[in-house]
Structure 1
Amino acid sequence: MDGFDPGHICNHSDHQGRYAYGRQPNVAYWNLYCLAQALAPLIDDQELTLQVLEGYKTLFPRYLGDAMRAKLGLVGDLAPESEREADWTLVEDVMQLMAAEKVDFTVFWRQLSRAVLQQSTAPALTDAGWSAVTDLVLDRSRLLAWLARYTERAGQRHFAAMGEHMLRTNPKFVLRNHLAETAIRQAQAGDFSEIDTLYNLLKSPFDEHPGMQAYADLPPDWAGQLEISCSS
Structure 2
Amino acid sequence: MLPVTCFTMAMQRKNLVLLFAELHRSFLRFGSYQIHASRGKEDLEIVRALADYAIRHHFPHIENMNKSEGLSFSTGDEDHSVVDLTSNKYAAWTVEIAERTASMIASWQGVGFTHGVMNTDNMSILGLTIDYGPFGFLDAFDPSFTPNTTDLPGRRYCFANQPDIGLWNIAQFTATLSTAKLIDNKEADYAMERYGNKFMDEYQAMMTRKLGLPKYNKQLISKLLNNMAVDKVDYTNFFRLLSNVKADPNIPEDELLVPLKAVLLDIGQERKEAWISWVQTYVHELAASGISDEQRKAQMDSVNPKYVLRNYLCQTAIDAAEQGDYSEVRRLLKLMERPYDEHPGMEKYARLPPAWAYRPGVCMLSCSS
TM-score range, shorter chain: 0.7 to 0.9
1:140 is matched with which residue: 242, 250, 272? 272
Name the structure 2 match of 1:66: 205
**Structure 1 position 57 matched with structure 2 position 184:** no
Output the CA distance in 1 between the equivalents of 2:250 and 2:311.
36
Kindly indicate whether the alpha-carbon contact (under 8 Å) linking 1:127 and 1:134 is maintained by their aligned counterparts in 2. Answer: no
**Over the residues paired in the alignment, what is the CA RMSD in angstroms?**
1.8
SS in 1 for 2:213: coil
Structure 1 portions without partners, runs of 5+: none
Higher mean C-alpha displacement, 129-138 vs 13-22: 129-138
Say if 1:5 and 1:108 are closer, same or farther in 2 by CA, change over 3 A. Answer: same
Mapping of residues 147-158 of structure 1, within 5 Å: 147-154=279-286, 155=288, 156-158=290-292
- 1:76-225 matched pairs, under 5 angstroms: 79=215, 84=216, 87-113=217-243, 115-116=244-245, 119=246, 124-137=251-264, 138=267, 139-154=271-286, 155=288, 156-225=290-359
Indicate the residue corresponding to 2:182 in structure 1.
43
Match of 1:19 in 2: 157
Distance 1:123 1:64, change over 3 A: farther
Q: Which residue is 2:168 aligned to?
A: 30
Q: In structure 1, how many angstroms separate the alpha carbons of the residues matched to 2:210 and 2:172?
A: 32
What percent identity do the matched residue pairs reach?
34
- Higher Rg: 2
Q: Which has the higher helix share?
A: 1
CA distance in 1, matches of 2:190, 2:300: 35
Cα deviation for residue 122 of structure 1 reads: 5.0
Aligned equivalents of 1:121, 1:160: Cα separation in 2: 13
Question: In structure 2, how many angstroms separate the alpha carbons of the residues matched to 1:141 and 1:48?
Answer: 50
Q: Report the CA distance shift for 1:55/1:123 in structure 2 as closer, same or farther (over 3 A).
A: farther
* Alignment-mate amino acid for residue 95 of structure 1: L
Q: Residue in 2 aligned with 1:10?
A: 147
Cα distance in structure 2, aligned partners of 1:97 and 1:229:
30
Question: 1:127, CA displacement in angstroms?
Answer: 3.0
- String of CA shifts for 1:190-232, please: whole Å, max 9, x gaps: 2211111011001111111111111000001000112123355
CA contact (8 A) 2:249 2:284 kept: no
C-alpha distance in 2 between matches for 1:123 and 1:169: 27
CA distance in 1, matches of 2:181, 2:355: 51
AA aligned opposite 2:328 = E
